[in-house]
Amino acid sequence: MYKIILPFRYLFKKHISYLAFLAVSLCVFIVVVVMTVMTGLVTDFKQKNHRYVGDCVVSTESLVGFAYYEDFVNILEREDFIEGISAVVKSYALVSPKGTEDNIGVEIMGIDPVSHSQTTGFGKTLYYRKDDVSKAFKPVYAPERNGCVVGVDLMLMRDAKGRYAYRASPAEMAFAVSCFPLTAKGALAKAGTGLVNTETFYYSDISHSGLARVDSSLVYLPFERAQLLCGMAGAVKRANVIHIKFKPNVKLAAGCEKVASLWQRFVEERSGEKRADLLEKVTVQSWKDYRRAFIAAMEKEQTMLTVMFALVGITTVFIVFVVFYMIISHKSKDIGILKSIGVSNGDVVSLFSGFAFLVGLLGSVVGLFAGWLFLLKINQIEDWLFERFGFQLWDRTIYAIGDIPNRIDLKVLGIIILSAIVACLAGAFVPSRQAARSAPVEALQVNPV
């Protein structure tokens, strides 16, 4: 029982204990806030990427694309683990608003809006046709014309708080989209003639995926129109990508493996056929692998932050070690007294470990509570700082971030509390073991002679 009573008394009656308590609280506060924000950003970024591409992607890097995609789509449609399939034409184009001499290089994606919405989060990124994606390419002001869905950052400016100035309905605008059609061999399809295919599309909607690069450089076009523009609508039609969505109970790796095996069989069956060589360059990847180049950078930042905070954690262990060393040095008399009345070395260690546990537990609870309060109000605090001092954590005109993520992950919290307690126990272990090993007479500081 004394192993419970004494740690509480040491904690609340020794001012030096507050130092250890404060060090733990501060460290936990910082780690909770930074990890929550960073984990929120990374999770959000991953979710956006996942929504953007679906679960699995069959694709080629080549702008030529690959043939027989329709046959493979038919094969996939017969599989019961697949929920959505969307074949896509991907290329690059010059977009020029009609009536101007301006132009801008963009990425174009030819999609069927319905199947693409069933497979990816495309439908939810729309502003005007969110409720009826089948009309995504039908401008409200001229439904009979070919529409295009433009990345939000190509159309609208963000204000300092990251908000877009949406209009009630899309402005009547026409874009000339020009691209170089390629043959299946990769040669310019219109060599010697006009070189480029140009077609006019009317602004029908905007897409806000939350991915800065996508929103600032992507224009969606109707699939068949894009196929024609890119020279992929010949006798053997071609596409660049097939996006796939699995049914909810299908695990990502297992689903991708099945698709890869179906693709392998498909390639073998098609070998020797016209343009079958294009199939060799096609890869089957999970959404994580497909977007690895983008996600990895973010994950690396998170890893770096984790390492930095591990160093903060080590510093806390050191502070706790120093504080405990001081506390235990001051308590050598108590250790001597306890040993003189029969307390064992192990009990001395467990007494101070109990003290360390208490410091770790209470310190992390206070740090967590403060962190939770801060996170709860982090966006209001940022708004206030911005209004008063013009300070923003992320410049919303540059970064595609809305609110600062502040949803606390319970798993992360558990890890932080556990780490704080372990750090305290580690900091207290050496001095308490050293104190426990000292002879009772030495601990009592009685002149031995």
Partner 1 sequence: MVQEEEISKRDEPIMSNDDSLLKAEGIYKSYRMGATEVRVLKGVDLAVKKGEFLAIVGVSGSGKSTLLHILGALDRPDKGVVRFQGRDLSRHSESELNRFRNKMVGFVFQFYHLLDELNVLENVFLPAMVSKGIVGWIASRGRAKSRARELLAQLGLRERGNHKPYQLSGGERQRVAIGRALMNEPRILLADEPTGNLDSATGNGILEVFEKLNKAGQTIVMVSHDERIAQKAGRIITLADGKIGHKSIRA
Q: Which residues bind partner 1 (CB under 8 A)?
A: 1-2, 4-6, 9-10, 13, 333-334, 336-345, 347, 439-441, 444, 446-449
The CB density around residue 303, as the number of other CB atoms within 10 Å, is 12
State the minimum distance, in angstroms, from the CB of residue 329 to partner 1: 15
Long-range contacts, stretch 14-19, CB < 8 angstroms, 24+ apart: 14/327, 14/330, 16/323, 16/326, 16/327, 16/330, 17/323, 17/327, 17/355, 17/359, 19/319, 19/323
Give the nearer residue to partner 1 in terms of CB position, either 308 or 439.
Answer: 439
Indicate the SS3 state at residue 133: helix
State the minimum distance, in angstroms, from the CB of residue 11 to partner 1: 10
Q: What's the CA gap between 306 and 341, in Å, rounded?
A: 47
State the minimum distance, in angstroms, from the CB of residue 327 to partner 1: 12
State the minimum distance, in angstroms, from the CB of residue 361 to partner 1: 18
State the minimum distance, in angstroms, from the CB of residue 25 to partner 1: 22
- For residue 147, give every residue at least 6 positions away whose Cβ sits within 8 Å of its Cβ, in sequence order, or none: 136, 137, 138, 139, 201, 202, 203, 204, 205, 222
Give the nearer residue to partner 1 in terms of CB position, either 100 or 447.
Answer: 447
State the minimum distance, in angstroms, from the CB of residue 348 to partner 1: 11
Give the nearer residue to partner 1 in terms of CB position, either 348 or 425.
Answer: 348
Query: What residue type is assigned to position 6 of the chain?
Result: L
- For residue 12, give every residue at least 6 positions away whose Cβ sits within 8 Å of its Cβ, in sequence order, or none: none
Give the nearer residue to partner 1 in terms of CB position, either 329 or 340.
Answer: 340
Task: For 280-302, give one letter per residue: b (16+ CB within 10 A) or e.
Answer: eebebbbbbebbeebbeebeeeb
Q: CA 228 from chain center: how many Å? A: 35
* 65 backbone φψ class: left, alpha, beta (φ>0; ψ -120 to 50): left
Give the nearer residue to partner 1 in terms of CB position, either 7 or 151.
Answer: 7
State the minimum distance, in angstroms, from the CB of residue 17 to partner 1: 11
State the minimum distance, in angstroms, from the CB of residue 339 to partner 1: 7
CB-CB contact of 69 with 242 (8 Å): yes
Reduced to 3 DSSP states, what percent helix, strand and coil does the chain have, rounded to the nearest 5? 55, 15, 30
Give the nearer residue to partner 1 in terms of CB position, either 8 or 384.
Answer: 8
Give the nearer residue to partner 1 in terms of CB position, either 105 or 342.
Answer: 342
Give the nearer residue to partner 1 in terms of CB position, either 342 or 390.
Answer: 342
